[in-house]
Amino acid sequence: MSEPLTPKIEKVIKEDEEYLMQSFKRWYPLVIDHGKGALVYDIEGKEYIDFNAGIGVLALGHANEKIINAVKEQMEKFFHYSLTDFYYELAVEVAKKLVSFMPYPAKVFYTNSGTESVEAAIKIARGHTGRQWIIGFMNSFHGRTMGSLAFTSSKAIQRKSFSPLLPSTYLIPYPDKRNPLCKEDCTNQLLSFIEDWLFKKIVDPSEIAAFIAEPIQGEGGVIVPPKDFFSELNKILKKYGILLILDEVQTGIGRTGKMFAFEHFNVEPDIITLAKAIGGGLPLGAVVGRKEIMDLPPGSHANTFGGNPLALAAAKVVLEEVPKLLDHVTNVGRLIMDELKETRSPYLYEVRGLGLFIAAELRKGGQPYTEGLEKVLYNSFKRGVLPIGAGESAVRIEPPLIIEEELAKKGARIIREEIEKL
């Protein structure tokens, strides 16, 4: 399937294979040189439409002037000074801005990545409730460190050979019509499973600290749950004093056309986890939760780099700019979905998503068509578009939120044509 590489690109890839652990899965040989807005250029100068934003990170695109200026200005002041022992204004400023988007008084803990936000949320939930159990959902992705990995289950390879995982955890089906344990809309089925089976036979609810879920499963295939699922689930959790943690690492910061995806579902999670887009491309994560829950005692949790000032300078710009883009995200997302829905192919099973978080799932003979996905991704790349995969066989599209309509339509048309060629 693959075509010969230029010597320059081949050299980078060979040396990558020689010097880096190859535990990644790359879809095609893109070697980036630089980017601008929603465009990416490889080291041969070829231009691409960025349809993944560095896996949902670059909300404001590449080389955003405001971010560059804010980071430069901060660089002149100080690069680092750990919040574990000292104070700085920027940390408070960004936290104030973040909590202003929450539906209740909240507090923030800064981290460096998505998985670290999930680890912190687990500790906050256990520490606050004094309970041990955490319940997750099948087909989720919450990260790859040993705590978050207990809840990550979108592919068996993510867990293979790393057991034993965190104890006192349990995974239940996500409300996903593709799951054979679920009927078409399985909200009620799942809720009665939780109360009548999980709580009665597996773990007493008084021992459960929290449920953790992605409001839309991303890595698992961009699975959008029924509108009422989380609000109905939360009613049950509240009865038993169990916290709801929603992992907004990928869905947060405007990706779905709202600041946070939970806003689509009429639910108020007790804690949310953030990373990816919040730092505008610099490593930053955050846990945001109800003021009274964010109460781990002094000395019990910290990190050296969390809330790095350069990343926070970028985050300040991101949090100012993203709210202005939400209507644009909804409109452009609709344009991409409309284009994909026009695809004439027996292999297109479903186009789904919210805002600029979109998937086109491919199936052959009723089964995931992984080979078809690989072809579509590779051929789109050859034609200058950069989507990635999700789940076993879905084309995942999550461009920078600032992407222009014309670029978005062009990228979607190329993907559509590549699906039609299968």
Q: Which residues bind ligand PLP (CB under 6 A)?
A: 113-115, 118, 141-143, 214, 218-219, 247, 249-250, 275
Nearest to 94 by CA among 269, 280, 247: 280
CA 50, CA 234: separation in Å to the nearest integer? Answer: 37
Q: How wide is the angle at C-alpha 133 spanned by C-alphas 129 and 137, nearest 5°?
A: 120
- Radius of gyration of the chain from Cα atoms? 21
- Written as six digits, the tokens of 402 are 């600032």
- In one letter, which amino acid is 65? E
Q: Which residue, 114 or 399, is less far from ligand PLP as judged by CB? A: 114
Q: Which residue, 176 or 214, is less far from ligand PLP as judged by CB? A: 214
CB of 375 to ligand PLP, least distance (A): 24
Dihedral sign for Cα 182, 185, 188, 190, please. positive
CB of 355 to ligand PLP, least distance (A): 15
Cβ-based neighbours of 39, under 8 Å, separated by 6 or more: 47, 48, 49, 50, 62, 407
CB of 219 to ligand PLP, least distance (A): 5
Cβ-based neighbours of 368, under 8 Å, separated by 6 or more: 361, 362, 391, 392, 393
CA 52, CA 385: separation in Å to the nearest integer? Answer: 9
CB of 215 to ligand PLP, least distance (A): 9
Give the CB-nearest residue to ligand PLP. Answer: 114
Q: Which residue, 115 or 153, is less far from ligand PLP as judged by CB? A: 115
Q: Which residue, 388 or 419, is less far from ligand PLP as judged by CB? A: 388
Q: Which residue, 153 or 250, is less far from ligand PLP as judged by CB? A: 250
- In one letter, which amino acid is 100? S
Give how far Cα 389 sits from Cα of 137, 220, 288, 386, Å: 20, 10, 29, 10
Q: 357-364 and 367-368: which strand pairing?
A: antiparallel
CB of 285 to ligand PLP, least distance (A): 7
CB of 382 to ligand PLP, least distance (A): 25
CA 400, CA 329: separation in Å to the nearest integer? Answer: 9
Q: Which residue, 131 or 142, is less far from ligand PLP as judged by CB? A: 142
Task: Find out whether 324 and 257 touch, Cβ atoms under 8 Å.
Answer: no
CB of 83 to ligand PLP, least distance (A): 19
Q: Which residue, 135 or 249, is less far from ligand PLP as judged by CB? A: 249
Nearest to 62 by CA among 44, 82, 47: 47
Task: Find out whether 60 and 321 touch, Cβ atoms under 8 Å.
Answer: yes
Q: Which residue, 249 or 351, is less far from ligand PLP as judged by CB? A: 249
CA 402, CA 71: separation in Å to the nearest integer? Answer: 20
CB of 410 to ligand PLP, least distance (A): 26
Q: Which residue, 283 or 368, is less far from ligand PLP as judged by CB? A: 283
Q: 3-class DSSP state for residue 310? A: helix
